[in-house]
Amino acid sequence: MKTLVVYYSNSGSNKYLAEKIARALKCDSEAIKPRLNFFPFLILFSLTKTSVGIKRLSRNVAEFDRIIVCCPIWMGQIISPLRDFIGRYHTSINKLCLASCCGSSDAAKDVKFGYAGVFRKVKDMLGDKCVLCEAFPVGLVLAEDKKGDGNAMMKARLSDDNFTGEIQKRLDDFIQRIDKVD
């Protein structure tokens, strides 16, 4: 099973997650690079479903049996680098799994800015090619008394110091499930 992990990350957590997944699966990872990597514009592009596109990946997507994408969620939207990645490589993608380190908790996944709506939209774009979506809520790395604290959640970043316990277990489960969905 030839796998490539691709990611877009603004503040580092999804890059960290992508590298963890790539290490676990012993495969390469590569960043999705927007042509205009200016955060406020990317937010705007995500909200308006417009953009100036992404740079070509150095790998040939069609050569991989599965692509794993790691990226955040902004404003309850598919972020523009992910939308552009799917748009550009739709026909070359064989199977895609989405792993998002996002702000939404599992309990809030169905609210306006929750991850469930984004996962549904990605499945709508890719149909059967989208075989697995998993959230890695960044709040999982917060101390118990900070878990409901929106400010602490926005500041939280995955790192070697906090990637343990529940989030590590979720990654282990994800790696196991990924091998069963082929």
By CB under 6 A, name the binding residues for ligand FMN: 9-14, 43, 72-76, 101-104, 113, 115, 138
Q: How far is the CB of 117 from ligand FMN (least distance, A)?
A: 9
Q: How far is the CB of 11 from ligand FMN (least distance, A)?
A: 3
Q: Which residues of 113-146 are buried (b: 16+ CB within 10 A; e: fewer)?
A: bbbbbbbeebbebbeebbbbbbbbbbbbbbeeee
3-state secondary structure of 60: coil
Q: Which lies closer to ligand FMN via its Cβ, residue 27 or residue 43?
A: 43
Q: Which lies closer to ligand FMN via its Cβ, residue 48 or residue 60?
A: 48
Q: Which lies closer to ligand FMN via its Cβ, residue 1 or residue 107?
A: 107
- Looking at residue 50, its amino acid is T
Q: How far is the CB of 104 from ligand FMN (least distance, A)?
A: 3
Mark out the alpha helices in the chain (DSSP H runs).
Answer: 13-25, 39-48, 80-89, 115-126, 150-155, 166-178
- Cβ distance 64 to 94 under 8 Å? yes
Q: Which lies closer to ligand FMN via its Cβ, residue 62 or residue 165?
A: 165
Q: How far is the CB of 182 from ligand FMN (least distance, A)?
A: 27
Q: How many CB atoms lie within 10 A of CB 147?
A: 14
